Amino acid sequence: MKVMKFGGTSVGSAERMKNVTKLISDGQRNFVVLSAMSGTTNSLIEISDYYAKGNKYGANSIINTLRTKYLKTVDDLFASEAKRKEIIEKLNGVFSELMSFSAENFSAEDAKVIVSKGEIMSTNMMALYLKEQGVKVTLLSALQFMRLNKDLQPDMAYIETHLNPLIEAHPDTQIFITQGFICTNADGLTDNLQRGGSDYTASLIGVAIHAEEIQIWTDIDGMHNNDPRFVKDTQPVPQLSFDEAAELAYFGAKILHPTCVLPAKFAGIPVKLLNTMDPQAKGTIINNHGCDGGIKAIAAKDDITAIKIVSSRMLLATGFLRKVFEIFETYGTSIDMITTSEVGVSMTIDNTTKLQEITEQLRKYGTVHIDRDMCIICVVGDLRMQNCGYESLITNALRNVPIRMISYGGSEHNISFLVHKEDKQTALQALSAQIFK
Ligand code: ADP
Ligand code: ASP
Ligand code: MG
């Protein structure tokens, strides 16, 4: 079986859902993972924010807008009156539940239940539409098998032992459908895999069912060699190694959720990035096949904070870095980039919730400088030492951009630069102009 995941835009209207039906009906047994219709998760978050602020009226007004949108989609999607009635009943159940929360005692658990409803609605609509089309389809609730452990990591053993029997129980099913993004936690309560997490669902399912391939269908023809939102004339990259794809996803290439690559890598399952608007386009294949030499793509990660600690005591002091890292560990904050000199060390973080506490602790060891609103520019490819010349090509492209940090040598396929947020677009464009001309 292969896993086919469709993102928000790919199921964003009745027309797009009909298009998905064509793509999944390829005569093979497929496991389909769907996101919520585009915009829905944002609306659900707005609803829960209104409840959290005690504003039930605000929540109800967004729910009503959402209901109108869904009823219109149902009208456009279904041909038979009976199926329309059936899905409207189901959706009305969801909207009534959304209306039923209390603005006085609204909890974090309630918020997670609300945000789960987008995927529940899209999968119910698709499954019923497939039934109307005569497809042998089974809708599986992700809440029955997708589970996090106490450390909020996927509980792979639970997922495998709960998902495979569900599949075995339906030998005649042609298409299985389930929700991306949503799961339960170790206490069995509704939770999720973070924004954009449907990609992660797809790769966890791929591993659990030993899929031959994981396909991520989206609105662009694969991983482009630079961020198409900031650079013109970017091109799709035909092949990436798992490590290259992981670096790009982690450093801002939105097409792929960063967590999605590792499970597929360890299970050796190829991941394809494909375009629902242009299914014939080759897209990108991510696999273990090596590909020699050259820069493949550039990505950028926003909202980075740089922390520099300068200490005369660092000179020749063993254990200094350990003490610094322990502070970050204590406050559960991971470091992305790091550069050192004999008297100081610079690090970057993207989660600043504990910045104040971290800064106070670091001050025990030296003078601390903070730079906010920074951006990591990450150049990815086969940058092994024998392929010399790529570093100078890259730094030359960035000769007019002020650079705060450079990191090279942490792996053989990444060179990263820290620049100010306002220089991001110039940096991305300059790199594309120099490297992919
Ligand atoms: P989905 O809703 O299908 O999960 P996303 O919006 O999460 O889709 O990801 C697709 C988007 O990622 C594209 O529309 C594109 O704007 C953006 N993107 C950012 N960087 C890249 C890149 N390097 N290659 C392709 N797409 C990228
Ligand atoms: N619907 C969720 C989101 O918008 C998950 C996803 O689309 O992957 O973040
Ligand atoms: Mg996505």
Give yes or no for residue 255 CB within 6 A of ligand 1.
yes
Atom 5 of ligand 1, nearest CA residue = 255
- List, for residues 126-184, the tens digit of each pLDDT value: 999 999 999 999 999 999 999 999 999 999 999 999 999 999 999 999 999 999 999 99
Taking residues 273-302, report their average pLDDT: 91
Spatial separation of the C-alpha atoms in residues 66 and 74, rounded to whole Å: 12
According to the model, what pLDDT value does residue 315 have? 57
pLDDT at 219 over 80: yes
Contacts of 11 (CB under 8 A, 6+ apart): 17, 20, 34, 35, 36, 37, 38, 122, 126
Structure tokens at 219: 């609105």
According to the model, what pLDDT value does residue 314 have? 64
Closest atom of ligand 1 to 218 CA is 3
CA-closest candidate to residue 180, choices 317, 301, 37, 21: 37
Spatial separation of the C-alpha atoms in residues 294 and 88, rounded to whole Å: 53
Contacts of 96 (CB under 8 A, 6+ apart): none
Give yes or no for residue 209 CB within 6 A of ligand 1.
no
| Tally of CB atoms within 10 A around 155 | 21
**Distance (Å) from CA 224 to ligand 1 centroid:** 9
CA-closest candidate to residue 435, choices 296, 284, 299, 301: 296
Give yes or no for residue 69 CB within 6 A of ligand 1.
no
Spatial separation of the C-alpha atoms in residues 122 and 126, rounded to whole Å: 6
- Cα distances (angstroms) measured from residue 216 to each of 4, 220, 221, 300, 406: 6, 11, 11, 21, 32
Q: Are strands 213-218 and 2-6 parallel, antiparallel or unpaired?
A: parallel
CA-closest candidate to residue 327, choices 367, 355, 290, 369: 355
Taking residues 242-253, report their average pLDDT: 93
Mean pLDDT of the chain: 95
3-state helix, strand, coil in the chain (%, to 5): 40, 25, 35
